[in-house]
Each structure stands twice: as structure tokens, then as C-alpha cells.
Amino acid sequence: MGTVPGMDARADMRKRTMALHGHRVSYWEAGPTGNNTDPDSTDDVLVLLHGIAGSAQTWAPVLDELARRGDRRQVIAPDLLGHGESAKPRGDYSLGAYASGVRDLLVALGHHHATVVGHSLGGGVAMQFAYQFPQHCARLVLVDSGGLGREVSPFLRAVALPGAEWVLPLLTDHRIVSAATQIGRVMEKLPLPMRFTPSVHESARSFASLAESAGRDAFVHTVRSVIDVGGQRIDATDRLYLAAELPTLIVWGGRDTMIPVEHGRHAAATIAGSELAVFESAGHFPHCDEPQRFTDLLIDFLNRTTPARLNPDDLAHQLADLRDAPDIPTPEHDPEQGADSATKADPDQGAHQDEGR
């Protein structure tokens, strides 16, 4: 246990570690102590998931705002494996593995039901969590989330290129990171209009974390699990209809240059009953650029909505309804293209063809 930089306002914030499956998991925890072993409990647990190359530190402005309001909600903000102070093993860095890790952490802490807030990569993990473990998900909050369309920043696409792992060490050399840090400190002393925005600061902090070889390797593995040279490989839009019974809030920065705001607009139009808030002046980290507004919005959403009580049977019923849906027509065979073209279409190919619409 220890103190958490940037979290002085919340006296009950505790930094803890736990060994899960033999790996160190670091997390921040605030609110009432003690385990709750009742899976039907209505305790209002809030889980905050950071983005790629980030850490739980990104949520410090929001946690400070919660503290300023005297909010006593139980909050858990982990460093995902491969990030922050958690272990960085050679292993599975897929969305499914991350979602399982979040579930295991929650259950190990005695929680069985939570509102999951995910930023960027964390948004993809949050959606995967809701899909894999609907019985554990009370609400869903997506903040500039990955997994909702093809487009993503050129830098992340470049990391998917062969040989990127050999170039990154040159770009993240400690001398370059140190110089960039010094520039940032100078900029913070300049008049407000000339300072770096919090989004730029968070991006720089994420980049600085890649100076460590283990973190850099985990970053490359994570990127390649969700992104290729053409953009995002994982697209949840074909399953968003399953979230119709799950209270969902989508928040986006209108000036996000990492993932376009159009992804959020499309997701909001697809998920029945969902809510969308666009912070027009914010970048990829709207919760850092405008923490007071973000926290107001989050608390209002939590207070207004009733936590979902879903179970795997609900998902089974939804999927069973698809059996009566019309079949997707198979493209007609062109005899001129030869026998190889007559093989039966893979259903997954249809899903990939819908990406980016």
C-alpha cells in the first residue's frame, strides 16, 4: 500500500497490489473497505480502465473531482497487465484476456457487479467484459473508445508494421524522453493559451512509459492484437445491439486525433437508449481536459440509471432470436474464376466486410 501522486484530495485512496495467476496486478482502490460475497448485492462499484500505454494515473483528475464532491462510491482503477506497475509478462494481451483479468480482479476483491468505464483500449476491454460477463456488468461508459471502427492514428498503425519493435527503442531512448519531459515542464510555466493541453500531457506520459523494454514489448503485443497497418482489426459494432438492456454512456473529445468522434456518434445511434456527450474542445482524454464536466456527467448518469441485472441466459435468448432471421445470401459463383472460388464463404468474412461502415 502507498500514497498515490495526484490523489491527495481523496484520503481514502489506497494503492494496492495483488497476485493474480502468478502475476502482479497494481490497482487503486477507494471507498468502503471489506469484501462483499453476495453476487446479488446492489453495491455500486465503479471500475476505471485506462488506455494503451497508459495507467490508472490517467483517472487522477476524475478521482480528485469525486473526492471534492464527497462521493463515497467504491472505485477500483487497475493498471492492466503490461501497463503501469503491473506485471509485463510474455503472454496474451488480447481484449478477451484483459476482460477476464478485470473479472478475476473484481471477484478476488469480493465484487460481483460493477459499472465499467473504459477509455480508448480500456473501452474495448469494457465492451468485451460486458459481452463475456454480462452478469457482472451494471452499466457501460465508453470514453473515446477503441473497437468501434477502422480508423485510428497513423502512429499506432505503424507499430503494427514488421520491425517496429526495433525502431521504438530509438524513439523512446531515455535521452529523448528526458528532453521531452523538460520541454513539458517549461510549457507548464507559460501563460495558459500556450500550455500543452492535458490530452497532450497524457499522450506524452504514455509515450514516456515505453522507455522501459518490458513495457515497450507489452505495448507492441497489445497494439498488434487489436490493430494492423490498415487500422483497427477489432470492431464491436456488429454486436452493439446486444447492449440495448445495458445503460450506456458514450463520451468523446471533439478534437480527438487518435480515434475520430464519428465512431462515438455511430455507436450511440446503434445502441438503443444510449447517451452521447461530445466535449467539442477536448482531445483524446476528455476526462483529463475537462474533469469537472466529465465527473458531473458521470455522477448524473450513475444517479439516473438503474444498474442492469443481466445473466448469460439473457444473451442466449438474444442470440436464439437470430435463428429466425433471414440467412445472409452467399455470393453467386462466377464459373470463369475457377473451382477455388466456389468454396463456401466463411461467416466471419461477412463481419470483416462490414467494418468501417
8 A C-beta contact, residue 142 and residue 123? yes
In the chain, what are the helix, strand and coil shares in percent, each to the nearest 5?
A: 45, 15, 40
- Alpha helices by DSSP H, listed for 162-277, are 164-171, 174-188, 198-208, 213-226, 261-270
Q: Taking a C-beta distance cutoff of 8 angstroms, is the pair 97, 128 a contact?
A: no
Question: Do you know the residue count of the chain?
Answer: 357
Closest residue by Cα to residue 9 from 48, 54, 61: 61
Longest dimension (CA), the chain: 73
Within a 10 A sphere around the Cβ of 275, how many other Cβ atoms?
17
Question: What does the alpha-carbon distance between residue 33 and residue 41 come to, in Å, rounded to a whole number?
Answer: 15
Contacts of 106 by beta carbon, 8 Å cutoff, 6+ apart: 45, 47, 76, 112, 114, 136
Residue 93 near residue 218, CB atoms below 8 Å: yes
Q: Using CA atoms, how far apart are residues 232 and 157, in angstroms rounded to an integer?
A: 8
Structural contact between residues 118 and 77, judged by C-beta atoms closer than 8 angstroms: no
- Alpha-carbon distance of 50 to 344, in angstroms, equals 41
Contact between residue 284 and residue 144 where contact means Cβ atoms under 8 Å apart = yes
Q: How far does Cα 300 stand from its chain's mean position?
A: 21
Catalytic positions: 120, 256, 284
Q: Is 31 helix (H, G, I), strand (E, B) or coil?
A: coil
